[in-house]
Amino acid sequence: MLDAQKTIHLADYQPFTHLVERVDLTFRLAPGATRVLARLHLAPNPARPGRHPLRLDGEGLRLVACAVDGQAVAPALDDGGLAIAAEDLPEAPFLLETEVEIAPEANTALEGLYMSKGMYCTQCEAEGFRKITYYPDRPDVMSRFKVRIESDLPVLLSNGNPVGSGPGWAEWDDPWPKPAYLFALVAGDLRAHSAKFATASGRPVDLHIWVRPGDEDRCAYAMDSLIRSMRWDEEVYGREYDLDVFNIVAVDDFNMGAMENKGLNIFNSRYVLASPETATDDDYARIEAIIAHEYFHNWTGNRITCRDWFQLCLKEGLTVFRDHQFSGDMRSAAVRRIEEVVALRARQFREDAGPLAHPVRPESFVEINNFYTATVYEKGSEVIAMLKTLVGDQGYKRALDLYFDRHDGDAATIEDWLKVFEDATGRDLSQFKLWYSQAGTPRLQVAEDWQDGVYTLTFTQATPPTPGQPEKAPRVIPINVGLLNPNGDEVVPTIMLEMTQERQSFRFEGLAARPVPSILRGFSAPVVLERDAPPEERAFLLAHDTDPFNKWEAGRALAKDVMAAMVLQDAPPSPAWLDAVAAVAFDEGLDPAFRALCLRLPAEDDMAQTIHAMGRIPDPARIHAARRALAGALAIRLGEGLVQLCRDLDEGAEFSPSAEQAGRRALRLAALALLARRDGGKLAAEAFAGARSMTEEIGALAALLDAGQGAAELQAFADRWGGDANVMDKWFALQVGLAAPGEAADLTERLAARADFDWKNPNRFRSVVGALAANHAGFHHLSGRGYRVVADWLLRLDPLNPQTAARVSTAFETWPRYDAARRRLAQAELERILAAPGLSGDLREMAERMLAAGQPA
């Protein structure tokens, strides 16, 4: 338990000694003493010749009985599992029977079999199954599972198809071999929201979303999203669903967003339940995306799984990419792309620039739970997007068809994945593979030349050192470029420049005038474009670029230039930027959602990252002040137009969660928030009082709090929603997120003292402690109170739920960016965490990595 942390290396992979041909499980459920009977039909694995002992993973299990082919045996037991010597095992196939006892009600880590408000549920990815029974808990051991559940609870669910049930029992059979991490069981007093679906080839499928009594009327949007996802995967990828039933269960206590267990997806309830009164437009969009994501895993993750956890990006990168494609098809693709990139920069670029940087496919880990990261997921998806750009839509389709044909039923690797692209398109992807093995975000510099009608763009790529990787080789970077005439017409539509060298030039001939380049259109590669463009050029692209992503990006880059000048040189807000944003804000020819995005200022943490990349030390207090000053200047510049905007967009139509309506609400709320700085929140208070949706209610409340108002509304909100945990999470997070820098830590402590601060619930913990960590100027306040309060709570949560504690600890990953005083304070907290007795392996690994690699340059 103490320091027995073992590092696991990709290079050490070996197949398991035995095959598990079939698994029969019986669960006799009881909160304090559940019995699990396992019958494993085992055989020696021909891929591991010779005689081997049998070693099964198991943690926290009380072994009651163990037999081989009906003969009782006494295996060797330790903290990590059981072992039976080779001599005690038959050389032919044999049956291993075990019976263990576990206590779901005592399981606070929410990993394995646990209880949430009287309901049993499981979370097995990555290594939770070993807390349920003795088993080779690794993804390359795939087997057929039959499950019998015995309990008096009315609803008893597991993977696969239902094959029988009676009073106090139910049986399930999953015909598809799967790894243990996809096992699931749910038992509870649940109600279903049901629908039917017929697959393209005519298979009828019963769809059920299971929730606690009273929540049935908040499942319609999740069900609609599921049906659209199933249809979309048939139409776009040719993939059909393969069981008679598809179940989704909503659980209040859940570490992650959702889990793709075969035929039985388990969801954090906040990503299932939605009604206009309780869910924001962002919630609706997230529900749609996560329902789709988990459903898409049925093929990319379940039918084709990962050989080992180093290949996590094989299923996650691909499935994130697929859910991005789906959301782009369902909504405005341009708006979705901008939101994806905002999130990528906020989470993944930040990770890549700090001590926790790691490759998309890591080569070693101590605790796999710590590698469910933005790099594996979001950058993993960007890598696939690049691959698609490089091989084209047809090449991508051929490769994916080959992937499903060749690897269905396999536990595959990144090598397998790249090989199908090579075989389907004839391309050599050995250099491209560096995207999987090299950490860090490449920086791309651009030089231009214009001579005798020839325009030349010269790119130079370099990737800063990351932990364990001081040197990087040049990567393949697809750079989508378009050229505009000085009058704003596009003279060269988007073409892909394929960069493979450290420095490379591309020539454009036959141009009448020196063009204005639009580089990295659609954000065609996850790189930092370093280009000191004059403000006039950025304003020109914001006004004229035909590529919506780069149009937004020009405004964003201009805003960052302006804010950086305000922070570093005390410059005033730039009138050129204010004019350019005003032009977009009032341009009725543009999508309201896009205009709302252009009104959103860069986040403070994003500015700190940008200033740090410029070689300067970011000052969180100055960044906070500059951002507020810029918003204030924008409110003045937009003037009475804001009032008009709020009126025009206040249509009073019946609520729909559609992207169109959501875009109008986003623009109206952006205008309302700016206006609150001028009118003291008068209009925002009216909007709060008359709100017809949660988007408007919480948006108006945010505008009020941001303007230093809203105490009465805050109370009214709590009075109204006190009984709804998911809504109250928003209430907690909003206050902490908008608290003034010097008050954020104190407010966190005051809220944490409330009776309804159920800190053992991961959603509630994140909505308060996580919100403080995300309040940039509050967390990094020079008093050190932000660091201290977050560290206190991490230490309190860690013994109960190490996984969530380790996740939230990434708040500290940026500490090397700041000045010596802040570094000392943050370092002291990380050292205090490490010194805590009984620290979990999860949190220890994170604190060690952040400290070790975090020495400032």
Residues with catalytic annotation?
294
CA 816/CA 354 separation, integer angstroms: 8
Tokens matching residue 637:
């510049």
**Comparing C-alpha atoms, which of 790, 762, 696, 775 is closest to residue 736?**
775
- Contact between 640 and 663 under an 8 Å Cβ cutoff? The reply is no
CB of 413 to Zn ion, least distance (A): 18
Provide the CA 234 distance to its chain's centre, in angstroms. 25
Give residue 467's identity as a one-letter amino acid code.
P
Furthest-apart CA atoms within the chain: distance in Å: 89
CA 832/CA 854 separation, integer angstroms: 16
Among the residue ranges 317-325, 686-694, 695-703, 749-757, the one whose residues contact Zn ion (CB under 5 A): 317-325
Nearer to Zn ion, 316 or 829 (CB): 316
Q: What is the dihedral of CA 563, 567, 568, 572, to 10 degrees?
A: 70
CA 581/CA 556 separation, integer angstroms: 10
Nearer to Zn ion, 316 or 798 (CB): 316
Nearer to Zn ion, 377 or 721 (CB): 377
Nearer to Zn ion, 323 or 845 (CB): 323
> Mask 277-316, x = binds Zn ion (CB under 5 A)?
---------------------------------------x
Distances (CA, A) of 182 to 88, 176, 239, 406, 719: 30, 11, 19, 22, 41
CA 172/CA 450 separation, integer angstroms: 70
Nearer to Zn ion, 232 or 787 (CB): 232
Nearer to Zn ion, 319 or 325 (CB): 319
CA 379/CA 384 separation, integer angstroms: 9
CB of 313 to Zn ion, least distance (A): 10
- Which parts of 319-338 interact with Zn ion (CB under 5 A)? 319
CB of 290 to Zn ion, least distance (A): 9
Nearer to Zn ion, 126 or 223 (CB): 126
Number of residues that bind Zn ion (CB under 5 A): 2
**Comparing C-alpha atoms, which of 44, 137, 42, 142 is closest to residue 82?**
137
Count other C-beta atoms under 10 Å from residue 3's C-beta. Answer: 7
DSSP string over 736-767: HHHS-TTTHHHHHHHHHTSTT--TTSHHHHII
Which CB contacts under 8 angstroms, 24+ apart, belong to 635-642? 635/674, 635/675, 635/677, 635/678, 636/678, 637/578, 637/579, 637/581, 637/582, 638/582, 638/585, 638/671, 638/674, 641/582, 641/585, 641/586, 642/671, 642/672, 642/674, 642/675, 642/678
Among the residue ranges 94-102, 190-198, 318-326, 816-824, the one whose residues contact Zn ion (CB under 5 A): 318-326
- Contact between 406 and 445 under an 8 Å Cβ cutoff? The reply is no
CB of 123 to Zn ion, least distance (A): 13
Nearer to Zn ion, 320 or 806 (CB): 320
List contacts with Zn ion (CB under 5 A): 316, 319
